């Protein structure tokens, strides 16, 4: 029911004047995926609305009921094996499908630490914390103390969660290619992986059709991250692209991924290769 209403909400938001529609259209056009998926725009609009309304089920239901919405977990055995090695695991979770259910599933079984940026509205912030910080989940702030907490969790052999496809804050980013354009890409994920030897996994919760639940994928990276910050950030962007191409309708194309943060140097004048 929530997903059905979400499709209606998605179209209502799309048809409302504002920045949402042109940004979504431009990002999709830039991706080059419309030629291979002629109905992709309409699918993205519907999936965007589903993502908003499914939060009611993920945040407000008891955790055991939320976890039961996960039908399949390909790659989970490899994820558990990596944790048993004692170096920890980094859950690299791009904005694909229902990323909010990932920490619920993992934290129902073992410690899981993730960064958290408070919402502007106090009521929304309270709901967010209540929905996310359940089981063995721990939220840490997006500052130096939060980075130290993530490092501490990895040193204990635990799992942490990071979002690789947000615009980096000044001082924690480099310009790297993403779907044919320069995107100011965070390097914290790269530094956490390289400094600890933790095993990285691309983790994304595929939204199954007709409200049937979710399939959480735990994918090992297709390529090893290079040592250089810029090269490693570009490699991580390629991993996000790879997953977005698998589930193009469920990627958050409306996000302003290509904006320039205040104080950052402008992107290179040459086109990314």
pLDDT in tens, 29-86: 999 999 999 999 999 999 999 999 999 999 999 999 999 999 999 999 999 999 998 8
Mean pLDDT, the chain, rounded, equals: 93
CA angle 155/216/45 to nearest 5° reads 120
Beta bridge partners of 184: 175
Average pLDDT over residues 181-189: 93
Rounded CA gap, 46 and 37, in Å? 15
DSSP states along 59-95: HHS-HHHHHTTEEE-TTHHHHHHHHHTTS-EEEE--S
Q: Say what the pLDDT of residue 263 is.
A: 82
Q: How do the domains of the chain map onto residue ranges? A: 68-250
Q: Say what the pLDDT of residue 153 is.
A: 95
Bridge-based pairing state of the strands 70-72 and 214-220: parallel
Contact 267, 178 (CB under 8 A): no
Per-residue pLDDT tens digits for 119-146: 788 888 888 888 889 999 999 988 889 8
Q: Say what the pLDDT of residue 124 is.
A: 83
Q: Say what the pLDDT of residue 104 is.
A: 94
Average pLDDT over residues 157-164: 94
Q: Say what the pLDDT of residue 58 is.
A: 93
Rounded CA gap, 163 and 167, in Å? 10
Average pLDDT over residues 166-188: 89
Average pLDDT over residues 144-166: 93
Q: Say what the pLDDT of residue 144 is.
A: 86
Put simply, whether the predicted model's pTM sits higher than 0.75 gets the answer yes
């Amino acid at each position: 029911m929530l997903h059905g209403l979400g499709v209606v909400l998605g179209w209502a938001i799309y048809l409302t004047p504002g920045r949402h529609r042109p940004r979504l259209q431009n990002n999709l056009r830039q991706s080059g995926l419309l030629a291979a998926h002629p109905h992709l725009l309409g699918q993205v609009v519907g999936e965007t609305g589903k993502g908003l309304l499914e939060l009611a089920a993920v945040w407000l239901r008891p955790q055991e009921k939320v976890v039961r919405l996960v039908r399949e977990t390909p790659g989970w055995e490899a994820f558990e094996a990596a944790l048993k090695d004692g170096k920890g695991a980094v859950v690299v979770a791009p904005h694909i499908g229902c990323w909010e259910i990932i920490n619920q599933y993992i934290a129902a079984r073992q410690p899981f630490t993730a960064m958290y940026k408070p919402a502007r509205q106090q009521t929304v912030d309270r709901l967010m914390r209540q929905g996310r910080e359940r089981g063995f989940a721990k939220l840490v702030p997006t500052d130096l103390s939060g980075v130290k907490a993530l490092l501490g969790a990895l040193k204990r052999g635990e799992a942490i969660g990071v979002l690789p496809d947000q615009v980096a804050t000044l001082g924690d980013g480099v310009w790297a290619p993403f779907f044919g354009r320069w995107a100011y890409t965070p390097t914290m994920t790269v530094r956490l992986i390289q400094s600890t030897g933790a095993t990285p996994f691309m983790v994304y919760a595929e939204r199954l059709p007709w409200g049937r639940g979710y399939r959480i994928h735990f994918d090992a990276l297709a390529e090893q991250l290079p040592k250089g910050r810029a090269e490693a950030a570009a490699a991580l962007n390629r991993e996000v692209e790879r997953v977005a191409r698998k589930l193009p309708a469920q990627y958050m194309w409306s996000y302003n991924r290509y904006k320039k943060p205040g104080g950052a140097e402008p992107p290179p004048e040459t086109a990314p290769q």
